[in-house]
Amino acid sequence: MKIDIEETKPINGVKWKIVTLTNNQGMSVTFLNFGGIITKILVPDKNGKLENVVLAYKNEEQYLTNPGYLGAIIGRVAGRIQGASFKIDDKTFKVDDNEGIHCLHGGTSGLNNALWEIEPYQSFNELCVKLSHRSKDGEGGFPGNLDIEVIYKLNTRNQLTIDYIASTDKKTPITLTNHSYFNLSGNAKRTIHDHEIAVDSKEFIELDEELIPTGKLLDVSGTTFDFRNSRLLQKGFNNDFYQNRLAGSGYDHYFVFEHKQEEQIWLKDKESGRTLSVKTNQPGFVMYTSNNLEEGLELTEGITEKYLGVCLETQGTPVSLHHHNFPSIVQNENDVYKKQTIFTFGIG
């Protein structure tokens, strides 16, 4: 069990830190203090071969633009805020409109562009690194000074835990997530067409033509969105169902968890034998199958292409800012935002 910390060459005059957590089974997680970006997760396949199961750019400089948000911490608000505005206590706040007239993933000053302070520590069977950052009042148009901690933990059971903790001095919306693109084939040698996934959800939120959630819940029954029993992702990589068509022949939708199962998401690549299960206290997640991922960017293995990874963005939904039939993401001054997601890697 060890924690290694190195530095990049200067990028825009700043050296970023590269942190690697390695457990006794050989699994390792590597991330940058810039954006908290996860660049590598090495886990064994059914033959014991260690390979990377997340997409990462070949050159760190590419993270300065990072159009696909590869591996990054996302916030203050993960997802799309309709019209880049919202109301709190009858006061309207205008935030960055970085995707047309809408705000995507916290805008241009989102947490994916922050340089985080890091503090490594270790318990008996767990390696931990706390990342800390203050998002200042008015940054990106959001109210309140927001003090954020994100803790990456790796234990001896090949579990990566991400804890999110935040407090504010003014009411403000917050929902944080991680935007890693998983590909269990290892080293991105195949697309995710043959990945099987099961999801503890019977409803998802409808999207409109601009990928903005309408606030309408749709039943998954009889659709390509029914993952209550395991099915291949490729079943939705077409235009047969209008919601798949709107998302670019795939998925970019928020699923509401029933929380009937101990783990809310289960993913498997049959050929490699790798599995990934996800347990969270978040109310749902966005599944994005890289339908609109910019193509032709150089990765550590290969180049970006459609359907090369799947994002499992556990989070609250910004649709609650305009449709109040969903759990609110607005945090009060005296409350503490506290969320957790556990990624368990295995063989099955």
Residue 292 contacts by C-beta under 8 Å, 6 or more apart in sequence?
Answer: 247, 248, 252, 306
* 169 Rama class: left (phi>0) / alpha (psi -120 to 50) / beta: alpha
Helix, strand, coil in percent for the chain, rounding step 5: 10, 45, 45
Count other Cβ atoms within 10 Å, centred on residue 164.
23
313 catalytically annotated: yes
Is there a contact between 249 and 238 (Cβ–Cβ < 8 Å)? Answer: yes
- Structure tokens belonging to residue 127: 């390696």
179 catalytically annotated: yes
Q: Give the CA-trace dihedral at 105, 32, 57, 25, to 10 degrees.
A: -110
**How many angstroms from the chain centroid is the CA of residue 123?**
26
For 347, which DSSP code?
Answer: E
Residue of 105, 133, 179, 253 with catalytic role: 179
Is there a contact between 290 and 308 (Cβ–Cβ < 8 Å)? Answer: yes
Q: Which of 39, 31, 53, 30 is nearest to 187 (CA)?
A: 53
Tell me which residues are annotated as active site. Answer: 179, 313
